[in-house]
Structure 1
Amino acid sequence: MTSFKYYVGASIDGFIADRAGDALWLQPFSKLAGVREHFDEFFAGVGAIVIGGKTYENIARDVAEGKLEWVYGDKPVWVFTHHELPTVPGADLTFIRGEIGFWSRDIARSASVGDVWVVGGADLAGGFVEAGMLDELLLITVPVLLGGGANIFGRGVNMELDGLELKDLGGNVFASRYAIT
């Protein structure tokens, strides 16, 4: 059965983007062997991706400017947005608006036998929690203090976590996995 998983990197003070909304500060940590291996293992089980409009817009801009590579390959990417956004050449993109619960079946179906990666942003991930659609939080914690920015869920959410795993990825970076109960 397809699971919806929020795989995200955060500072030790709980922010996934800085005050300017930028997450490029995470880039140096993505090059660590343990982090790369952990991500590759996770991504191998992903069949579809869902991204919020602001996060997608930042990614598309950074890809166009050569700051990032499009890491999603040819997997279907669903973008929740209320705006017209640029496309990324060669990407399998579907732009949608509306309730998460309304689209969740179609998104899960597009993942085939894989899972759905809720990339973010934080507000979209919080919406998945509120809709009762998020199954797991996979949190990569890096040794940086941002002091402000976008927090992990972009809003206060009520949920209980069941710690499933804690793994040292090297360089004082840790991966933790939680079931959302």
Structure 2
Amino acid sequence: MTSFKYYVGASVDGFIADGAKDAHWFTTVAKKSGVKEHFDRFFDTVGAVVIGGKTYADIAREVAEGRMKWMFGDKPVWVFTHHELPTIEETDLTFIRGEIGFWSQDIARSAGEGDVWIVGGADLAGGFVQAKMLDELLVVTVPVVLGGGTSIFGRGISTPLSAVDVRDLGDDTFVTRYSVG
């Protein structure tokens, strides 16, 4: 059965982006061997991706400017947005708007045997929690204090979490897998 999972990097004080809404602080951490290996194993289980419009626009801009490669391969990518956004050649993109619950079956079906990765942003992940559609939260906790910025869910969310697993990824970085709800 397909699960909806939010895999995200966060500071020890619970922020995924700094006060300028920039998450590039995590780029160096993501390249460290333990973190990269864990992410690669996770990504192998992903059949489809869901991303918010702002996050997609940032990625699309960086791809267009040659600063990064499209990171989702040929997996179907669903973009929740209220705006017209550019497409990226040779990608499987579906732009959608509306309620998360309305689209969840189509998104899950597109994942085939895999899971669905809620990439972000934080507000979209919070929407999945509110719609009771998020099954797991995987947080890569990095030994840095940002002191403010965008929190993991980007909005006031109250939901029970149960820690299922904690793994040391090296360099004082850990990943904790939580069951949501």
Which category of TM-score, normalised to the shorter sequence, fits these structures?
over 0.9
| CA–CA separation in structure 2 for the residues paired with 1:167 and 1:74 | 29
CA distance in 2, matches of 1:68, 1:25: 15
Q: CA deviation at 1:74?
A: 0.4
Deviates more, 1:85-94 or 1:107-116: 85-94
What per-residue deviation string (whole Å, max 9, x for no partner) do you get for residues 8-50 of structure 1?
Answer: 0011111111222221111101111111110011000000000
Matching residue of 1:88: 88
Amino acid at match of 1:51: I
Distance 1:110 1:36 in 2: 25
Q: What is the TM-score of this pair, normalised by structure 2?
A: 0.97
Percent identity between the two aligned chains: 69
Task: Tell me the residue number matched to 2:138.
Answer: 138
Q: What do the CA deviations read for 1:135-171 (whole angstroms, capped 9, x no partner)?
A: 0000001122111111000111121111011111011
Separation in structure 2 between the aligned mates of residue 49 and residue 172 of structure 1, nearest angstrom: 28
SS of alignment partner, residue 163 of structure 1:
strand
In 2, distance between residues paired with 1:42 and 1:152?
19
For 2:24 and 2:158, the matched residues in 1 are separated by: 29
Aligned equivalents of 1:65, 1:11: Cα separation in 2: 28
**Equivalent residue letter for 1:125:** A
Q: Residue 89 of structure 2 aligns to a residue in which SS?
A: coil
- Structure 1: runs of 5+ lacking an equivalent: none
Question: What is aligned with 1:147?
Answer: 147
Q: What residue number does 1:62 align with?
A: 62
The alpha carbon displacement at 1:176 in A equals: 0.4
Listed one character per residue, the Cα deviations across residues 75-110 of structure 1 (whole Å, up to 9, x for unaligned) are: 000000000111122111000000000000000000
Q: Which amino acid aligns with 2:96?
A: I
1:47-126 mapped onto 2 (5 Å cutoff)? 47-126=47-126
Q: Which amino acid aligns with 1:35?
A: V
What is the distance in 2 between the residues matched to 1:5 and 1:42?
A: 10
Letter in 2 for 1:145: V
Aligned length: 181
Comparing 13-22 with 92-101, which one deviates more in the overlay?
13-22
Residue 33 of structure 2 is matched in structure 1 by 33
SS at match of 2:153: coil
- Whole-Å separation in 2 of the counterparts to 1:113 and 1:99: 24
Once structures 1 and 2 are overlaid, which stretch shifts more, 8-17 or 75-84?
8-17
Shift of 1:65: 2.1
Q: CA deviation at 1:66?
A: 2.6
Question: What is the SS of the residue equivalent to 1:132?
Answer: coil
